[in-house]
Structures are given as C-alpha cells and as structure tokens.
Amino acid sequence: MSAFQIPVATTRSVTGIPTGRLAIWWVLASEIVIFGGLVTCYILFRLRHPEWAAEAAHTKLAAGAFNTFVLLTSSLSVVLAHLAATKKDTVNAKRYLTYTILGGLVFLCVKAYEYTSEISHGFTITRSVFWSFYYTATALHALHVVGGMTIMAIILPDVAKGKFLPRVEYIGIYWHFVDLVWLFLFPLFYIASAA
C-alpha cells in the first residue's frame, strides 16, 4: 500500500489523541457554537415572547418523542458498532452501522411527515418568528443527520473489509452529538408550549 492510501489522520498524533479523533472534537466544538448560537437566540426571544407558547402547541409532540426514541436507539447501535470495531469484529460493526443508518432514515421520514403536515396547515417558515426558528433549527439538524448517514454509508465498505476501523469511533462521536443536539431541540420546540 502506498503512503497516499494511508490517511494521515489515523497515523499521527501530537496531543496524545489520534488526530482523526481530535479533529472530530474540534468540529463538534464549532458545532456547539453553531447550534448553541441558534438555540441561545431562540431562548432569548422565547423568554421575551410568552405568546409563542400558543405557536409551539401546534408542533407534534408524539412525532418529536418518537424521533427522540429513534435517535437514542441509533446512538446505542453506533456505540455497539464502535465496540465491535474495537474488537475487530467487522461483521457486527457493519451490522450496527447499518442499523444506525436505518435509524437516521426513520428519523428523516418522521421529520418529512411533520413538515408536510405543518406546512399543509399553514405553519410555514414565514408564518412567524417561532416557525422561522423551528424550521431553521430542525432543518439544520436534519442536514447533520443526512451528513452522518452519508459518511457512515461511505465508510461501510471499508469497515466490512476491516480497514480504517478507527473511523467507526469518529463517526460515532459525531452521531452522538447529533443525538445530543436533538435532546435539547425536543423540549425547546415540542414540550415548552406549556411555559
């Protein structure tokens, strides 16, 4: 194998942390600022406008709760994929990664159902500032779900061959973060209608 085929990120470490994993954490630090900035602005406006509770009452709690369940389950499957990759069990690593991709797919289907239902009832992105926040935050999150699924689909063939297994851990860390973001979006947009 030539040197060009070995990813530098998996063969070099300055901090004692594999560079690939370090890079993922830096990406997540920037993601904290992106999502956190959006959520922070939403919280500020929400505290200023109690009347948004009436708007928030129109989001679908059951769909949001089900999607939280789906993402938590996919987090479990990706951590099991990581565990299998650590043991060089490529069969289970591939299997659990596939489950995670399917989990992401289910999440997106439910989100598409929600969007369709809300838009058909007139709750579009231009209806009010609440709905602007809702669509911006949830669509940005859904975009991250698509990104995670795409990366998992790309690394899946290599994982099946037992190549570049640390990548399973890296995408796993990213996927957990996507789950973690949803854990905050869910109460903010689906539950806080009572506040």
Partner 1 sequence: MSDSVHTEAHDHSHPPSFYYKVYGVLLCLLVVSIVGPMMGGLTVLLVTAFGVAVVKALMVAAYFMHLNIERKYIWWVLVMAVCFLLVLFYGVAPDVMKSHGVNWKSLSTPPPAAAEPAHH
Cα 171 from Cα 151, distance rounded (Å): 7
| C-beta of residue 38 within 8 angstroms of C-beta of residue 44 | no
Q: Which residues contact 71 (CB under 8 A, 6 or more apart)?
A: 103, 107, 178, 179, 182
Can you tell me which of 58, 60, 63, 76 binds partner 1, judged by CB under 8 A? 76
Spatial separation of the C-alpha atoms in residues 68 and 190, rounded to whole Å:
11
Any idea what DSSP says for residue 123? -
Position 177 contacts partner 1 (CB under 8 A)? yes
If one asks whether residue 99 binds partner 1 (CB under 8 A), the answer comes out as no
- Specify the amino acid at residue 90: T
For partner 1, the binding residue among 1, 4, 48, 51 (CB under 8 A) is 48
Decide whether 16 or 122 has the Cβ nearer to partner 1.
16
- Give residues in contact with partner 1 (CB under 8 A): 10-19, 22, 25-26, 28-30, 32-33, 36-37, 40-41, 43-45, 47-48, 61, 65, 68-69, 72-73, 75-76, 78-80, 82-83, 85-86, 165-166, 169, 172-173, 176-177, 179-180, 183-184, 186-187, 191-192, 194-195
